[in-house]
């Protein structure tokens, strides 16, 4: 789930109170100036102030900052539509699922310098640094890097604090896959990061009711499909919490993992604990989809405490690779690029 602490120890180190370590340590007045601008003027003033000092004190170039900005928009929005040097929109859409190699080629940033300044780093899956994810190279923004971009990385329908590129990649893959699988039409509605009965989820597909509208809200709609995205196994209580949420929500439930190894470890953690620790045990059998990239087995022996449920608890588990394999057939432009119009956002 998005609320899990990151499994990358270096990402945990870059908390809100430990940002811009090199800049603030060498120039304490810059921290006070940044905080003052944030309080009195707003985030944009702080971003401009920090960018100015990185340029002046560490010779961070405009291309470096544009690279960071592009990574941020790709992560949050899933894609960007860039402008050329004359300020006109290009016809080429770019998506997060293409990886970040094209971003490096486009802006030619000083990657070594940005890593030394702890503004970017290689992504982590389950505590291990990864050169590639879905066979593509990615870079992850640290908390300091995110502080140099004037956009929201968390909030309503955006996600939780602490989510990084691996989780965001899984979310966008899931969103695109679900839209192709079921559509977004008069009967179904797709929503990212909703809160349902106090529980925060990564993604749901609603079945619209349409009979009673209160305050503009469809009070008859119900969950048709629910998704949780797991990127690590360090937070066992979070894994149990996600399993519980998926088990008790109405409709089909889907658990998505970046790799088969993380999937196996997460299910093994639940098996070893016999589902203990949950306020109510997961009933029946945790069915696992039969696929070469999944943990092809069943977890048995749960207590049938709530037999009135008319659907299985967690019906499907999937890996990023499964989503990618399907999407390459349905929407190859997500991985290889194509002309089009990307309306969710632009980068300079």
Task: Name the pLDDT band for 196 (thresholds 50, 70, 90).
Answer: confident
Q: What are phi and psi of 322, to 5 degrees?
A: -60, -45
Ranking 3-7, 24-28, 239-243, 260-264 by mean pLDDT, the lowest is: 3-7
Query: Which residues are CB-neighbours of 256 under 8 A, at least 6 positions away?
Result: 170, 173, 174, 202, 227, 228, 229, 230, 317, 318, 319, 320, 323
Percent pLDDT > 90 in the chain is 43
Look at the block and give the residue holding tokens 């022996």: 301
pLDDT for the residue 197 = 77
More confident residue, 318 or 293: 318
Q: Which two tokens stand for residue 214?
A: 């209160």
Ranking 92-101, 157-166, 217-226, 304-313 by mean pLDDT, the lowest is: 304-313
**Each residue of 255-283: pLDDT tens digit?**
899 988 888 788 777 767 665 444 444 43
Q: What are phi and psi of 319, to 5 degrees?
A: -110, 165
SS3 28: helix
Nearest residue to 1 (alpha-carbon basis) of 226, 325, 261: 226
pLDDT for the residue 314 = 63
Q: What is the CA radius of gyration of the chain?
A: 21
Rounded-to-integer distance, Cα 154 and Cα 160, Å: 5
**Each residue of 22-49: pLDDT tens digit?**
999 999 999 999 999 999 999 999 999 9
Residue 289 has pLDDT above 50, yes or no: no
Task: Name the pLDDT band for 58 (thresholds 50, 70, 90).
Answer: very high
Rounded-to-integer distance, Cα 118 and Cα 68, Å: 12
H/E stretch holding 129 reads strand 128-129
pLDDT for the residue 323 = 93
Q: Which two tokens stand for residue 115?
A: 């890593």
More confident residue, 109 or 241: 109
Q: Map 160-187 to HEC letters.
A: CCCCCHHHHHHHHHHHHHHHHHHCCCCC
Rounded-to-integer distance, Cα 172 and Cα 334, Å: 10
Rounded-to-integer distance, Cα 2 and Cα 127, Å: 16
Report the predicted TM-score, pTM, of the whole model to 2 decimal places: 0.81
> Measured at the alpha carbon of residue 12, what is the angle toward residues 129 and 51, in degrees to the nearest 5?
95
**Each residue of 111-137: pLDDT tens digit?**
999 999 999 999 999 999 998 999 999
């Amino acid at each position: 789930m998005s609320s899990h602490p990151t499994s990358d120890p270096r990402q945990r180190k870059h908390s809100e109170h430990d940002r811009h370590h090199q800049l603030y340590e060498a120039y304490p007045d810059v921290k006070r100036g940044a905080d003052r601008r944030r309080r009195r003027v707003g985030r944009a003033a702080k971003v401009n102030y920090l960018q100015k000092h990185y340029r002046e004190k560490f010779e961070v170039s405009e291309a470096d900052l544009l690279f960071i900005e592009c990574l941020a928009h790709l992560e949050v929005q899933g894609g960007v539509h860039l402008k050329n040097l004359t300020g006109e929109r290009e016809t080429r859409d770019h998506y997060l699922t293409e990886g970040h190699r094209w971003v490096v080629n486009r802006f030619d940033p000083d990657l070594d310098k940005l890593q030394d300044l702890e503004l970017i780093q290689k992504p982590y899956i389950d505590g291990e640094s990864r050169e590639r994810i879905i066979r593509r190279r990615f870079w992850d923004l640290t908390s300091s890097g995110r502080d140099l971009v004037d956009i929201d990385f968390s909030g309503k329908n955006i996600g939780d604090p602490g989510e990084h590129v691996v989780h965001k990649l899984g979310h966008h893959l899931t969103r695109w896959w679900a839209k192709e699988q079921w559509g977004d039409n008069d009967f179904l509605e797709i929503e990212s990061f909703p809160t349902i009965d106090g529980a925060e989820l990564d993604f749901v597909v609603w079945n619209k009711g349409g009979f009673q509208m209160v305050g503009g809200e469809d009070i008859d709609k119900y969950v048709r499909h629910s998704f949780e995205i797991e990127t690590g196994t360090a937070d066992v209580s979070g894994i149990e919490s996600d399993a519980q949420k998926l088990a008790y929500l109405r409709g089909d439930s889907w658990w998505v993992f970046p790799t088969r190894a993380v999937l196996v470890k997460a299910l093994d953690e639940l098996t070893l604990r016999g589902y203990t620790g949950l306020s109510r045990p997961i009933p029946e059998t945790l069915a696992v989809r039969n696929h070469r990239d999944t943990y092809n087995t069943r977890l048995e022996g749960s207590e049938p405490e709530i037999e009135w449920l008319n659907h299985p608890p967690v019906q499907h588990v999937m890996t990023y690779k499964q989503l990618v394999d399907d999407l390459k057939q349905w929407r190859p432009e997500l991985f290889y690029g194509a002309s089009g119009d990307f309306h969710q956002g632009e980068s300079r």
